Structure formats: C-alpha cells, structure tokens
Amino acid sequence: MDFFQEFIEDFETDDNFLLVAIENKPDVFQADFLSEVDRFVDSCYTIPHIVGAQSLTNFKYPIKTPFGINAIKALRYSDSLKLALDKDRILQDERFVYNLINEDGTALLIFLKTEDQIGMDESAALMQTMNRIVDDFVFDDIHFLGRSFFQNELAWMQKREVIVSTGMGALLVGFILILIFRRRTPILIALGSIGIGLIIFFGVLSAFGRELNAIAAFYPVLMLIVGTSDIIHIMSKYMDELKKGVANDPAIVTTIKEIGLATFLTSITTSAGFLSLLTSRLTPIRDFGINSAIGVMIAFICVILFSCSVMSLVPKEKLIREKSDTDWLSNSLNWVREFTLRKGNSIVLGFVLFLGICFFGISKISTNYTIEGNLPTGTKLTADFLFFQDEFAGFRPYEFILSIDENYTIDDYEVVASVDKLESYLKTIPEVKAIMSISGIYKSINQMLNGNKIDAYRFPSDSVEYKKAKKYTSKMPKQVTANLISKDLRKTRITSRIRDIGADDIKVISDNIDKWVKENIDDNVVSVRRTGTGMIMDKNSIYVRDNLLQGLGLALLVISIMMALLFRNWRMLFISLVPNILPLLFAAAILGYFGIELEAVLSIVFALIFGIAVDDTIHFLSKYKLAFEKSRDKEAALDVTFRETGKAIFLTTVILFFGFLIMLFSIHPPSVIIGTLIAVTLVSALIIDLLILPILIRKFL
C-alpha cells in the first residue's frame, strides 16, 4: 500500500477514467456515425470533472514532412476511399485494437480522463450530465465503465438494498409475530420496540457521520431479527410467569432477572462477534463491525426499556391466550431430549463424522474471487462490465513500475529497451491488454521515419537506430509522456489492464511475470515492481484469511471471559464453546463444497454466525443453571430448559432463518451468499445445541 501511494504521487491514480463504448452495426467505419461520435467527444469536454478525451476520431499519427513533424487523422471519414484504407490500417494496429476499437470493428471506445480520486458527489454530477448528453444522440448501444460510473450505480444499489431489506424484514417479522402470539397487543409492542430501535439506529449512524456501503442492507435485517429474538425470549418468559398466576410487576421483575441478564449477555457476545471485524485491514469491514455492534446494543436497550415497561402496564388477558398453539413444539422438544438420553453415543459418533466432513470441505476453500462476482445482478453496471470484458481490455488495472539505476537516465537506450522487452513479453499473455509505455513513443517515431508503414511500428533494432528516433522525442507533446514518466525522471510506468479471471489465477500469471523479469531484465539497469488497485484488491484475499483467524480468536477469548464471569465454572465454559465452533466449521465447509470464493465481504459471515449462534447456547445454559439450582436434578433441569428456553431458541432460529433469507431479494451477489449461508448455518447451530449440549451437560457437569 505504501508503494502504491508512492505510485499515485509519482504518476496518478490508475482508475481516473470513464470508458464509453459506442456500438454500430455492421461496423463503426461509417461516415455519419463517426461524425456523430466526434460531436459526442466534443460534448464530453463540457461534463464536470472530465479533463481529457481520446477516441479514434481525434487520434492523429505523427508524420514527417519537409517542413517538420506534422500529424494526420487516423480516421479520415470525410473521404470514403481514404476511410476504407484507414479501416484496414486501424484493425491491424496494436495501439487501437482492444484500446480504442474492438477486434470486430463494431464498437468504438472513448477514453475520458477524470479528476483523480473522484468522490461520490462528483461522480453523481458527472454521470447526470453524461446521461443528458447521451439523450441527444442516437446510437445502437452505449456502455460505460469506470470509477465514476461504478460509484454512481453502487450508490443507487445501496439505497435500494436498504429500502428492500427494511420493507421485506418488517413484513416477515410482522408475519412471524402474528403466528407466534396471535394477539394484537404483544405484536404491536414487539413491532413498536423494533421500529423505535431501527429509527434510533439510523439516527445514530447519521449523527456520527457513519456512511452506508455495499453490505448496508444487513443493518435493517440485523436490527429486525436481533430485536425480535430478544423480544421473543423476554415475552415468552413473561407470559409463562403470567400463566402461573403471577402478577404483572413480580412477573416482569422475574423476567428481567432470569432472562434480561442472559439477553444482555447475548447482546454483548453478539457485539463482540461483530467487533472482531476490527482486526480487518479493510475499512468497510471494520465499519460494518462497529455499526452492527451499535445496532445490537440499541435493539437490546429498546427491548428492555420499551417492551418491558409497556408489558408491565398491559392487562394479562390482552397478552396471553388460554390455549397454547405450541404444544406440538413442547412435545417435539421433549422427544429430542429423550433421544439425546437414549442415543448419546450415536450422536457423538455422528458429530465426529460431521467434523471430518467439515475439515475436508474447508481444505477446498478458494480465494479466486472476481470483480464480476461482486456486481449487482440484472443491472446495466454488470452488463456493461461484461461487455468491456468481452470486447475490450476489461477494468482491472495492472501496473508495472520500472525504477532506473543511478548510472542511467530515463532516455538511455538500455532503459527504454528494457521497458520494450517487458512490454513485448506482456503482449504474449492473452489476459493482459491495453498495454502502454514509453517504448510506444519510439515505435511511433520509428514508423514515422519509415514512411508510416504498418510493419514499421516497432522498437528500434539497435542503439544507432534508437539515436535517430531519440532526436524527435523532444518535439513530441509533453502530455504524451506526462503519465508514463515520474516527475523526478527516475521511474517509468507500463500501464495495462488484465481480464477479471480471478485473484488466484492472476497471482499465477503475476508469479510467472516476476520469474520472467528476474531471468530476463537486468536489475543493474532497471528494477521492476508490480502495483495498482488491482494488486491491492488481490492482496485483500490474503489479509482476509489472516484477519479472519485473528478476529475469531479475539472473539473466542472475549466471549470465553464473559462465560467464565457468568457461569464461574470452567466446565461450563468448555460446554458453551464446543457447540459454537462446529457451526463455524460447517459454514467454512459450505464455502469449500459449493466453490464459493472467500473474499473480503464474505469474511463477515463468521463473525455474524459466531456472534448470533452463541446466543442460543447462553440462553440454554443460563436456564439450565437456574433450573438445576432449584431441583438439583439434571434431567428435571433439562426438562424445564427444553420446555421453556428450547421453545424460545427454536422460534428465534426460525426468525433468524427466514430473516437472513430476505437477502435472496438482494441484487448484490455477496449479500445473497452471506444471507443464505448464515440462515443455513444457524439452523445447524440450533440442531447442535439441542443434540450436543444435553450430552455435554450429562457428561461434564
């Protein structure tokens, strides 16, 4: 990252562009079309934050004349005979194909240079003006690619995701609460608490200037399902007390003492799970962890202060029904308890086998993520991205910096020859396109000195020929070399783009290039180093794996300390952690078996799973501890735990399952994967809790 920042200071950012591709069938070599494109290029100079524009319609070849160096247009579309000649020439010129025109000649590319590090507001203004200009032209089709287009489209996606997830989440929670309580009053109390929490949460984010990002759609989902989970535990216990004939005030006191403490601890542990994301080096991931932890605690405070206060004031006949609709659930949970008593050894053996299957799946995890996999489905952004992938050079910058030895200068033959040598090698790699370097200047001059023949576009064959070309470099416009040579003249750049084939596959190509450089480039002349935003993105996959282990280790440590303080028993600590490590292994195994690449955004899965799954374990063990202290009988305590807490954790898991499946409505592929993965894994966490915890309790307590 430090070297990349130096690169930006020496040259410029490598994503300061907006590519515009305009299609025309059967080909672009039509005078009327080219005239319209030329007019469109001129219009682009009126767009805010655009500082330059290049296309085939304004590109000129250098030409030597008796009066000095002049230039002629690459496309002379006002003359049909010359245009036919230009067509053949351009489609054979490596400077243009994949850079300014596609291989079939059916689309022209306009390269618009933007201001460096353009922000969201500037991107919105740029694209708004661009869309107005496009409306004045009639083209077969037009495609965009670049930082400003990405930012503008992703901002729209983020707003859409938050609105959809909030709306769908509210409908789901309301529906589930109706199924559980069947009474208007408890449903209104629950929805009121969750709604207040959601409003306060977004208010807090706004007040502290917290920005939303691509995974912001999880905020309303988390607030809704975490808040609902807290309410179900609190309400279930309170209603159980009312059914026993206990008055409102004593019932609410008992509920807060027995369930409130456990719910507080689960909120703390869930927050700790999210805060483990602070170990990530990626700012969006850290921000997600902080924001989610804040949301969880706000949800808890709203449940305790609002729900408990209101419930204590409502007559019990408005809260409870005479006949319970969950007798079938109580009977089912009782059967599960008896099953763990009868088949304990078989269950343990089954989970040992399950563990082996998980480890095998984990061994198959890949980090070969792609940009395409993170783009919203069914949108113009993704369609345009794929168009540039197929027809041009794609988006991923692929930069090489050549630092010149102190014994040489930037225009020495040995230096430029080394640049050309590396550039020529890069051109043998099919995935690398749009390659530019200072050697191209000498190729153009060499072509000019040889009558502008097509095959004369080559690097001078020796130092004598090079010196002839060098005489003309000082006469070239300064902007030609401005972005290829550093300000101190000690570094030069080979800029290119590489197809979005996946981080691991790109690493293989990069390693091969590094090996070739070591064997073929004299480091006494120049030293070569790769950089660029593409490389920074690829490094993320390595950091994700390291940070994931660090974060989970920290979360385990923090939660272990909390468990120790709560239960004051190391055996209980062991029992509480074992069933919560298994779902993490299961989630990792799913990634491996289904070929889902582990990339930056997906790293939040494990913090989410651990932070939420541990809640059920805490509620289960807390209830068991209280029940055992009263009866001093393990089976009697387990029976009470299954009947009361078992019912609550089953219902909350159902809410969590369907709550995270809301993300199936997302157009952001990682969000869909995260939501589905968490939903499935939390079901496994419930099964593990109900089957493994009773066995561990009987064995170790």
pLDDT for 366-403, tens place per residue?
A: 878 788 888 888 899 999 999 999 999 888 889 999 99
Query: Which residue is it, tokens 């940009």?
Result: 371
For range 611-625, the mean pLDDT:
82
DSSP 8-state symbol, 305: I
The pLDDT score that the predictor gives to residue 661 is 85
The pLDDT score that the predictor gives to residue 326 is 56
- Is 70 exceeded by the pLDDT of residue 477? no
- Is 70 exceeded by the pLDDT of residue 480? no
34: CB partners within 8 A, 6+ apart: 28, 57, 75, 77
DSSP 8-state symbol, 73: E
Q: How far, in Å, CA of 401 to CA of 527, rounded?
A: 8
Cα 133 to chain center, whole Å? 32
- Segment holding 519, helix H or strand E: helix 503-520
- Is 60 exceeded by the pLDDT of residue 158? yes
Give the distance between the most distant pair of CA atoms in the chain: 109
The pLDDT score that the predictor gives to residue 544 is 65
Task: Give me the chain's average pLDDT, please.
Answer: 85
Which phi and psi (to 5°) does residue 619 adopt? -60, -45
Query: Which residue is it, tokens 């930037």?
Result: 410
For range 104-123, the mean pLDDT:
90
Burial track 445-455 (b if 16+ CB lie within 10 A, e otherwise): bbbbbeebeee
Residues in the chain: 701
Q: How far, in Å, CA of 685 to CA of 264, rounded?
A: 20
Residue 560: how many CB atoms within 10 A of its CB? 15
Domain limits, the chain: 17-151, 182-363+538-700, 396-537
List beta partners, residue 494: 400
For range 463-486, the mean pLDDT:
79
- Is 60 exceeded by the pLDDT of residue 428? yes
pLDDT for 37-65, tens place per residue?
A: 999 999 999 999 999 899 999 888 877 77
Query: Which residue is it, tokens 């306009």?
Result: 110
CATH of domain 182-363+538-700: 1.20.1640.10
Whether 462 and 470 have beta carbons less than 8 Å apart is answered as: no
The pLDDT score that the predictor gives to residue 670 is 84
CATH topology identical between 17-151 and 396-537: yes
Q: How far, in Å, CA of 598 to CA of 303, rounded?
A: 35
Q: 3-class secondary structure for 437-452?
A: CCHHHHHHHHHHHCCC
Give 686's Cβ-side CA count (13 Å radius): 22
pLDDT for 195-226, tens place per residue?
A: 898 899 989 988 988 777 666 767 887 787 78
For range 2-17, the mean pLDDT:
86
For range 529-545, the mean pLDDT:
78
Cα 7 to chain center, whole Å? 25
Whether 521 and 422 have beta carbons less than 8 Å apart is answered as: yes
Q: 3-class secondary structure for 138-192?
A: CCCEEEEEEHHHHHHHHHHHHHHHHHHHHHHHHHHHHHHHHHHHCCHHHHHHHHH
DSSP 8-state symbol, 340: H
Q: How far, in Å, CA of 66 to CA of 69, rounded?
A: 8
- Segment holding 476, helix H or strand E: none
For range 157-163, the mean pLDDT:
81
Q: How far is CA 574 from CA 466, 538, 569, 693, 697, in A?
A: 74, 38, 9, 11, 10
CATH class of 396-537: alpha beta
The pLDDT score that the predictor gives to residue 478 is 64
* CA-based radius of gyration for the chain: 32
SS3 call for 378: coil
Q: How far, in Å, CA of 645 to CA of 616, rounded?
A: 9
List beta partners, residue 68: 65
Whether 411 and 45 have beta carbons less than 8 Å apart is answered as: no
User: Is residue 413 very low, low, confident or very high in pLDDT (cuts 50, 70, 90)?
Assistant: very high
Q: How far is CA 415 from CA 33, 288, 444, 452, 470, in A?
A: 42, 47, 18, 25, 13
CATH of domain 17-151: 3.30.70.1320
Q: 256 or 64: whose pLDDT is higher?
A: 256
User: Is-above-0.85 flag for pTM?
Assistant: no
Query: Which residue is it, tokens 């080909």?
Result: 27
Which phi and psi (to 5°) does residue 244 adopt? -80, -5
pLDDT for 436-462, tens place per residue?
A: 999 988 998 888 888 888 888 899 988
Q: Could you give the angle at which helices 439-449 and 413-426 cross, rounded to 10 degrees?
A: 100
Cα 297 to chain center, whole Å? 25
